[in-house]
Amino acid sequence: MEYRQLGSSGLRVPALSFGTGTFGGHGPLFSAWGTSDVAEARRLVDVSLDAGVTLFDTADVYSNGASEEILGAAIRGRRDSVLISTKTGLPMGDGPQDWGASRARLIRAVEDALRRLGTDYIDLLQLHAFDASTPAEEVMGTLDQLIAAGKIRYAGVSNYPGWQIMKAQAIADRHGWPRLVAHQVYYSLIGRAYEAELMPLAVDQGLGALVWSPLGWGRLTGKIGRDRPVPAGSRLHETEQFAPPVETEHLYRVVDALETVAAETGKTVPQVAINWLLRRPTVSSVIIGARNEEQLRDNLGAIGWSLTPEQVAALDVASDVLPPYPHTPYRQQEGFARLNPSLV
């Protein structure tokens, strides 16, 4: 396994990490993702650790806390061998204090997560979504308190707009508080919007990207393609309404390129899709998920080899889309591109 720095922090994380959204299977969304109990989760953790995957990502909202509970049980007795990343901020109930990133909510959410995980510290706490109702100074001050208390080691965010990340970093700098070190983002060959603004921001601010859904919400598994509609057993039938959108022809174009490269390399379509991500700027770790050991072992095969420059170029061309304004002219107009070649 390859290990990388998480952004500009001193924390070293594996290039592949394991996402535990499949643990528990409570509710309509998460039951479609997977239903791993403690015994199966322990086996998946065993396989991950054997491969050098030491970072396990979860969230309080995954199966209403059951994912954290099952992960805690699966790693019992080997806490020092793993890194735990969890997220909070999305609603965990209908009460006014059951969502968001207020001081009261964050402190209680961390205490609840520690109890469910069966540990006394969290390696990386990420704010699962931007809370516009809580001042950024309150959020960053609370994260500083939690770090000082030893409850969390590092802090990051997930699915945040760039201007809010910059605001948070500026506040941290002004007060001498710890800065955000990670941004958990959607990024895949059929979802490259991250590159337009958030990737340059991550380079500038030292944020390591933790990539969720590297297979485009299950669309890049090799089971879907031209003349191959979504198979009967696919979770997409139940979850596509929650998935990042993709235009059908664009999906097929990317799948065509993936299948060509897979044939050239002798690798599977998912392995090629994940390997492409591993070489992208700012990516500290790609989060792989699996409903069973077979899926996990296939995803683990994405590391230990490299695509050729020609293969990378073919995938780049097939997956390329024009970014939205204000990034568009930097791709379309010579003067803009000359001023900012790094943005092209």
Residues marked active site are found at 62
Enumerate helices (H) and strands (E) in the chain, giving the number of each. 14, 10
77 burial type by CB count under 10 A (0-12 exposed, 13-18 middle, 19+ buried): exposed
Q: Do the Cβ atoms of 39 and 23 come closer than 8 Å?
A: no
For tokens 């090629």, the residue is: 272
Instruction: Give the C-alpha separation, 213 to 189, whole Å.
Output: 10
Answer for the pair 250, 225: CB distance below 8 angstroms, yes or no.
Answer: no
Q: Which two tokens stand for residue 249?
A: 């022809």
Q: What are phi and psi of 286, to 5 degrees?
A: -105, 125
Torsion angle defined by CA atoms of residues 55, 192, 255 and 297, in that order, rounded to the nearest 10 degrees: 0
**Structural contact between residues 263 and 255, judged by C-beta atoms closer than 8 angstroms:** no
By DSSP bridging, strand 83-88 and strand 55-57 are parallel
